[in-house]
Every structure is written in structure tokens, then in C-alpha cells.
Structure 1
Amino acid sequence: MSDRSPRNRAPQRRPDPVRQLAYRVIRQVTAEDGYANLVLNKTLRDQRMSGRDAAFCTELVHGTLRWQGTYDAVLARCVSRPLPELDANLLDLLRLGTHQLLRMRVDSYAAVNEMVTLTRAEAGQSRSGLVNAVLRKVSQRTLDQWITTIAPAPEDDEYGYLAIAKAHPRWVIGAFDDALGVRGLERDLVDLLDADNDPPRVTLVARPGLAELDELIEAGATRTRWSQYGAVLQGGGDPGRIGAVATGRAGVQDEGSQLVATALATAPLEGDDARWLDLCAGPGGKSALLASLANQKDALLTAVEPQKHRADLVRSNLRAIPGDHQVLVGDGTKPTWPAGWYDRVLADVPCSGLGALRRRPEARWRRTPDDIAELQPLQEALLSSAITSVRPGGIVAYVTCSPHYAETRAVVDAVLDSRSDAVVEDARELFPGVPSLGGGPDVQLWPHLHSTDAMYLALIRRT
């Protein structure tokens, strides 16, 4: 019998289960437009993966997606045909291998061999040779050497250089640079891009009246710098293991989101303060904090969300909060309530999400300038509806998780220019102790200055 008989072949190695899991999460994100944080968290829970394996899988997924643009530029020099001609699954395998070689402390020999084994299992034996050859070419240079090789000189094309060196699309870099200039801040563009590339911390909120910060601190968290309700879970890990989080008395929420919701709840208000509205509520993190704060003033919150499944998420977030708070499925641009019915209104409008690139690494490659233009009419309609919904003397918080000028000041200016019954008030005094808020009257938070998402707030009073 020939030595090539299947009976005499050595059994093939099985792929590393953590790398295989990371690859399958990446495929869900790139092929099915999934959200990395949601898909990864569900997968880790389903597979009951924790500790070092969960941390390694998280870095593989988020790092590969975060640096995708840079890795594609490297791979374009190592593959003999244009990248768009490669099968999408093969390209994701190459990106995953490149991340291990260029930005992780993984031995290059081990990284290549593990990826060849994974390719054999996921894409077939015929593809493993290409992956082996390409990744060996990638491993011949460090990341810095590759950037020097493929990026334009920074003095000739700054944005082009940063696009490769800091893994952000050129148009996003330009928008961030413009936004920093509008705020009158020092031109710390590189610091901002670096902060976007830092893995985010797990930040918790102790919902007032339901949980105390000490409970989160006893579970291993430390206080946040600015929010009186916030704590950072040190070392990461599953926040669901904390009793207050598991029961809904606390939740996972970026410190910036806590600050803008608290600003609305604490803004000075004369007269009635009994009816609050969250106009764009899903998935409900800010709704839960607002409802908790409303309880302290004997107020009730109405949360409106157009999509039923997201409205269900809002209800889930409100499950532990006492009171007759309402969740409505409806279009915030077409109110079913009387004009001037509410005392405080949050309009946390749909936006590009460019302020949360730390948490949603795939968003930088998924969004385009056209998305900004398409969202602006909806943002203006929602803000106008919010102002109409609040009583004279009442307060509206216009909020976006984006620093892009077209989604922030431009929307506020367009709406207020079209009506004479509202004014912007200085919101900075509602952020006590928080530095670098710019010249006002609106507030822009930044990852590199405040260690938060880039949340924007304009505080508008109905006159």
C-alpha cells in the first residue's frame, strides 16, 4: 500500500479553539454587519469562556477589527493580487494572523502555524499554503517598519500618514481635526487617535436609590473621576458576576453617558418637574439612569423607541426601577402626546457613533461621509420634536455620541435658526470638576481628555 494512503497519514492538528472562536466572531461582524461588542459578549457567554482565554479572544477580535485598514495596506504588499479579489473569509484569516504578528506578543512561528491550521479547518487545505506564504512575508518586518514602508511621509500628507499609522479612515481624521479646531482646543489629533485605539475600560453605573458605589467597589471596581455614580471594573471580566449588575440595580454605562444624563436631570428648572421624556431611548442605558434620578424628584419617565426589539431592551433596563415609568413603541418625530407636555426631554439622537470607536472598532470602516449627511435630517427632526414636546421654561438635552460638527453644533444651529422659542444655555457648570470643556455653551467630551466616549451635549431651554 502506498505511503500516501489516508491510513498512513498523521492526524491533522486541531485549530486552537480561542483563535477559531475569534475568527468566527470576526466573520459575523464583517459578513453579517454584526456589532463586535454584542457578538463577542454573547459568544463568550455561550461558550462559557472566561479568564485568560476570554481576554485573548477579545484582543484578537477587537484588535483585528480596529487595525483592519492598516493591515489591509500591509497585506496589499504581500499578496500577488488585489485584496478585493480574495475570498472575504480568507482575507479575515489573513487580518487575524497579521494582528498576532504585528501587535501581539505572539511568537511569529507559532502565529503562522496556528493560522495555517485554522485556515485548513475553516477554508480548506488548498488555502493554507497562501496563508502560510503571506503571513511569513508579513512577519519579515515590524509594524513600525511596515508603516515607514507603506505610509506617505507625514510632512507630505499628514492625514494619509495617520490613516496608516493610527488605523482611521482619512475622512474621519479630517472630521476629528475640524472638531478639535471648532472647540478651540490644542491640536492634539494624534492623542485622540491613540485614545480611540486603546481598549476601553468596563465602566459601571450604580443607579441612584437602587445601588451604592461601595457595592461595586467591594466587587473590585474603582470610582470614576467625574461621575458620582460611576465605577471602573478593574481587570475587565464579566460585569454580570456582580450582584447589583445581575439584578439591574447597576449597569454597564460609559462615564460620558452618565454625565450627560445627569446634566439633564440636574439642570435648574422652575415650576413643575414631574414628567420626563427620553425621545430616542433604545437600548435604555440612559433611560435607566434618568428613571432612577426621576424617582428622587417624584417624577415619571416616558421612554420612546421606534423599534420593538429595542423597546424590549429598554424595558429590560428598567426592570429593577420602581415607579410607573412607561416605554412606548413610536416615532419620536411624530409625537402622540400634547405639545409642551414634558418638563425635561432627552434627545439622544441616532448618529454615526464616531465618538465610540474604542468600543465599536468596526464602525470606523463601516461608516462613510454619506451616512453623516443622511442622518442629519432625522437629527434635526428629532431635536425640533423634543423642543415642541417640552413646556415653556423646560429643558431639552440634545446628545450625540459623535464629535462631528455636522452632527453636533450644525444640527443645533439649524433647528434654532428655524424657530424663535428656544435658546442654548451654558451646560459647562453641570459638569463640576471636569476640565477642557472648551468655550461653551455646549459641551464636548473626548476620549483623550476625559477617558470617556466623545459625547456631545447642547442644553436648550424652551422660552
Structure 2
Amino acid sequence: MQLARQVAFVVLRAVTTSDAYANLLLPREIERAGIAGPDAALATELAYGTLRRLGTYDAIIRAAAGRELDTIDPPVLDALRLGAHQLLATRVAPHAAVNESVQLAREESGPRAGGFANAVLRRIGQDDVTTWIARVTEAARSDDERLSIETAHPVWIIRALRRALAAEGRDGELTDLLAADNAAPTVTMAALPGLAEPDGERTPYSPTGFRLGGGDPEPAVRRSGGRVRVQDEGSQLVALALTRLTPVAPGERWLDLCAGPGGKTALLAAEALAGGAALDANEIAHARAGLVRRAIAPVPLEVEVHERDGRELASERAGAYDRILVDAPCTGLGALRRRPEARWRKQPSDVAELATIQAQLLDAALTALKPGGVVAYVTCSPHLAETAAIVREVVERRGDEVEELDARAALQAVALTPLDLPAPADGSGHAQLWPHRHGTDAMFLALLRKRV
């Protein structure tokens, strides 16, 4: 258990000091520590659980310490966060949670820091999480600020999620959504169509999805030669909605414009292979382009992976493609279950910066379409400024050249069982998946056809 705590602490430190991504770093640290089974599971729970509830724990630590967080040595603060999570949200024995966290603080910052951490954690351990939350929310200046502390979501994200739900007439689901963001997601697998078969419990919606009985999925990925892989069910569905929108005509040409890290690209490649289509991929970041090449390697289809600005590439290839996937860079607010640190790392200003790029990518993709071709605009975010607003802006600018298709019907057509997809109040055809409603990431999909 001590090694598991050390692994979780290393991940916390890397996230807070160098903006590391927990989902990329944690597996490497687990392997480096040589832990597996229950210890690896504990390290995962400690790292992800602490990051998910960071805002709540910080409010409790501030109250228990009687001082502002910026006056606490950063390594000590991370040790306190790790200890608070164990005390308030796990079955770890309180004495172990305190002693090991104190040891981490002492090793990082010396004996006095250890004494300080001991006093703070013992104070936290005197009450349960419900009592602490009631105490620290007494001074909340608004209902949203209170909800922010209770659910560990920044206020601006709470308001954005409420607006997105309200656009479907479902704002009463906000509490369920916030709770789903704080629950550890089930690992979902994808079997590349035509190359592998789902080998486990089938997922409710995706025809390529399944779940293993538990444990590390990596051995199953290796045994399959990469023909099965970890992939969120929502990610599978939005890719298949494009590839199966209409029967594939041999000789079609497809493009994955923002392909990294390659999960959707691999699905597109398998579908293109089955239908006799050709596929190009593009990813501007060199490291992520390498991940794309690795993801598509198991598919016996020649796919050229470009490393260019997608806006330039698409604009230069006017009228070249029948189907284009624009999996646009976004805030990632739809994947807070799996990337918990994103909620603390992103700011409202990021939305405006990304929206400019998103609109330009979608506009360029429409230029690259053949008449009659279709673009799937996808984000792993439900924020209306990254979803409905982008589609509306581009469609209005393009005028009669473009028509929006019914993305909800396209998803229903590929789903194994009916999806609960209410129509947006604006009458548009786009679709939004949700973790609390569908058990998927909050994937947004719009389908735009260039008129003949």
C-alpha cells in the first residue's frame, strides 16, 4: 500500500507542478513501481479520486489548517490532499492515511512540515465528509458556489453544463451529471469491425463495444495485436455515425482532420477497408501523429498521416473528400470522469480561444468536401460555445451551400438499443451524449452535408 500511495503522490506532484496528464503518467508510474492487482487499483483510485475532488478537499484543508493554501508548501499541500481523500472517501484505515501522508510531507519538506501535516489531517479525520462540506459551505456567496464545493466543479463549468442541459430542456439533470463526473468510469473496449469481434459483455449502444470482466485491459489489447483497444463508447458511436450514415461506395475518399491520438482514426480505417474507401489522416502535433500511426497499424489499409495545420491542409484540398471527421480540439469538459485534472486546468478564456480554431477547422473541412459529401463535427465537450454556436456560425456563413442532417437519427441507426436523445430547443439536428444518461463521455455530434 505504501508504494501505491507513493505512485499517486508522484502523479499529483506532476499534475500540479508541470501540467502532466494523469491518464498518461499514471500507467507509467505503476509500471515503474512494479505494482499490480490491488496495489495498482489503489494507486489509481488515490490519484484519480484526489484529482476529481480537489476543490472540495482544498476547501476542507483551508478550514482545517486555518490558513490560505498559497501559504502551504506545495508538496505538503499535495500530501494533505492525498490524505484527505483517504480519510473522507476511502476505506483506508485512518491511522495509515495519516501516517503515510505525514511521511510524504516530512520527506519532501522536513520535520516541521510533517508535524503540520499531522495536525491538519488529524483535525480532518475528526469528522466525515458530509459534516465538513456543511461547514465549509456556510460562507458560500451563491448556490452555485455552494454546489461547486459540494461537487468539486468550478463555478464556470457548473454554469456551462447547466446551460447545455437546459438547451435540451433537461437542466434538472445537473446534479446527476455532476455526480457522474465524479464517478470512476467503467473501462470500455472497441473491437475494430471486420478485424476483431467483441469478446466480453456487450455495451448497450455501440456495435463495436464491449467490457471485460475487470482488471488491466492491456493484456487483451496485446493478444489482439491492437485490433481491440480501450475506447469510450461515445467515441465509437460518433465515428460510426459518419461511416454508416449511408452505404460506402467503393473509391470514396475520407479524411480524419484532427486525428490524434488515433482511436477514431482506427475505427474509420477499419470501416474504410471494409467498404473499399481510402482514408487520409492529419495531426499537427508530431508526438500525437506517432500515436495515430500506432493506432492504425493493425488495420491492413495504407493511410497517409500528415503533420500539418488542418486548416491549411483542408483548404488546399477543395472538393477532395466524401466524408470528413473533424474531432476538434476542445476543453475536454465531456471527459472529466477520465481526465479529472482538466476541470482545474481549464479557464473560461480557453473556450473563446478554442472556438476560433473550431470554427476555422469546420469551415476548412467543408471546403474540402465534394458536393454531396458529409462532415461530422465532434467535440468531447457539451459547452454550447464549442458545439451549437460553432455549427450555427459556420452554417450561417456558408448559407445554402450546406445543410445540417439529423445527427440523432444517425446515432440511433447505429446504436444497438435506443438512445435517449431529446431534440435541442433550437430545432437543430445535432446530438449530445452524456455520462449520466448514456454512460459515455459527453460527446457532441453534428453532421453537415455540402449540397450538390
TM range (shorter): over 0.9
Q: Which of 175, 180, 187 pairs up with 2:172?
A: 187
Aligned to 1:423: 403
Runs of 4+, deviation exceeding 3 Å? 243-246, 269-273
Q: Which of 51, 67, 80 pairs up with 1:65?
A: 51
Aligned to 1:451: 439
1:264 aligns with 2:252: no
Q: CA deviation at 1:348?
A: 0.4
TM-score normalized with structure 1 length: 0.92
Alignment of 1:9-408 (within 5 A): 16-152=2-138, 157-185=142-170, 187-213=172-198, 216-217=199-200, 222-235=201-214, 237-242=215-220, 247-268=225-246, 274-335=252-313, 337-408=316-387
The superposition leaves residues 272-299 of structure 1 with CA deviations (integer Å, 9 ceiling, x where unpaired) of 7510000000010000000001111101
The superposition leaves residues 334-385 of structure 1 with CA deviations (integer Å, 9 ceiling, x where unpaired) of 0264201000000000000000000001000111100001111000000001
Secondary structure of the residue aligned to 2:302 is coil
Q: CA deviation at 1:123?
A: 2.6
1:438 aligns with 2:422: yes
State which drifts further: 330-339 or 404-413.
Answer: 330-339
Aligned to 1:462: 450
Distance 2:142 2:66 in 1: 27
State which drifts further: 433-442 or 179-188.
Answer: 433-442
Distance 1:339 1:101 in 2: 59
Could you tell me whether the CA contact under 8 Å between 2:249 and 2:276 is conserved in 1? no
Could you tell me whether the CA contact under 8 Å between 2:310 and 2:361 is conserved in 1? yes
Could you tell me whether the CA contact under 8 Å between 2:221 and 2:229 is conserved in 1? no
Could you tell me whether the CA contact under 8 Å between 1:353 and 1:402 is conserved in 2? yes
Q: Go from structure 1 to structure 2 and tell me whether the alpha carbon gap of 1:335 and 1:22 turns closer, same or farther (over 3 Å shift).
A: same
Distance 2:223 2:151 in 1: 35
Could you tell me whether the CA contact under 8 Å between 2:249 and 2:275 is conserved in 1? no
Aligned to 1:9: none
State the one-letter code of the partner of 2:154: P
Distance 2:378 2:447 in 1: 9
Could you tell me whether the CA contact under 8 Å between 2:311 and 2:361 is conserved in 1? yes
The superposition leaves residues 120-179 of structure 1 with CA deviations (integer Å, 9 ceiling, x where unpaired) of 22332221000000101111111000111111499x832122111111011100100000
Q: Go from structure 1 to structure 2 and tell me whether the alpha carbon gap of 1:158 and 1:378 turns closer, same or farther (over 3 Å shift).
A: same
State which drifts further: 371-380 or 184-193.
Answer: 184-193
State which drifts further: 198-207 or 157-166.
Answer: 157-166
Counting aligned pairs with the same residue, the percent is: 49
Q: Go from structure 1 to structure 2 and tell me whether the alpha carbon gap of 1:152 and 1:419 turns closer, same or farther (over 3 Å shift).
A: farther
Could you tell me whether the CA contact under 8 Å between 2:249 and 2:277 is conserved in 1? no
Distance 2:91 2:167 in 1: 39
State which drifts further: 310-319 or 36-45.
Answer: 36-45
State the one-letter code of the partner of 1:255: E
State the one-letter code of the partner of 2:423: G
Distance 2:4 2:55 in 1: 23
Distance 2:251 2:327 in 1: 20
The superposition leaves residues 377-410 of structure 1 with CA deviations (integer Å, 9 ceiling, x where unpaired) of 0000000011111111001000000000000000
Number of residues of Structure 1 aligned to a counterpart in Structure 2:
441
Distance 1:399 1:48 in 2: 38
Could you tell me whether the CA contact under 8 Å between 2:375 and 2:449 is conserved in 1? yes
Q: Go from structure 1 to structure 2 and tell me whether the alpha carbon gap of 1:45 and 1:212 turns closer, same or farther (over 3 Å shift).
A: same
The superposition leaves residues 5-45 of structure 1 with CA deviations (integer Å, 9 ceiling, x where unpaired) of xxxxxxxxxx9222112101111111110111110012112
Q: CA deviation at 1:50?
A: 1.2
Distance 1:46 1:24 in 2: 11
Could you tell me whether the CA contact under 8 Å between 2:395 and 2:403 is conserved in 1? yes
Secondary structure of the residue aligned to 2:275 is coil
Secondary structure of the residue aligned to 1:63 is helix
Query: Which of the pair is proportionally richer in helix?
Result: 2
Could you tell me whether the CA contact under 8 Å between 1:398 and 1:457 is conserved in 2? yes
Distance 2:396 2:217 in 1: 44
Segments of 5+ residues of structure 2 without an aligned counterpart are none
Aligned Cα RMSD in Å? 1.7
Q: Report the structure number with the largest CA radius of gyration.
A: 1
Could you tell me whether the CA contact under 8 Å between 1:383 and 1:398 is conserved in 2? yes
Could you tell me whether the CA contact under 8 Å between 2:88 and 2:128 is conserved in 1? yes
Could you tell me whether the CA contact under 8 Å between 2:280 and 2:304 is conserved in 1? yes
Q: Go from structure 1 to structure 2 and tell me whether the alpha carbon gap of 1:374 and 1:111 turns closer, same or farther (over 3 Å shift).
A: same
Q: CA deviation at 1:246?
A: 5.5
